[in-house]
Amino acid sequence: MNAISIELPKDLRDKIEAIASERNIPVAELYLDMTRAMIEDYDVERRFRERAERGKGREAEALALLRR
């Protein structure tokens, strides 16, 4: 695994530490969880946009399928 150093405002760092403490996990694990969730959200959005682009101009066909 690679290490990354980032600078965070104190209030943000304090909140992250509080969340990790509440969940009883190390701060590093919380960062991993947040990073994974953000990447998953990004991938879902990207796939949605790609599908929406492929469906442009076929709205009537899609609505007809939904009416069945």
The model carries a pTM of 0.72
Contact (Cβ atoms closer than 8 angstroms) between residue 20 and residue 26: yes
pLDDT of residue 48: 95
Burial of 45 (0-12, 13-18, 19+ CB in 10 A): exposed
pLDDT tens for the chain, 68 residues: list them: 788 899 999 999 999 999 999 999 999 999 999 999 999 999 999 999 999 898 888 888 888 989 98
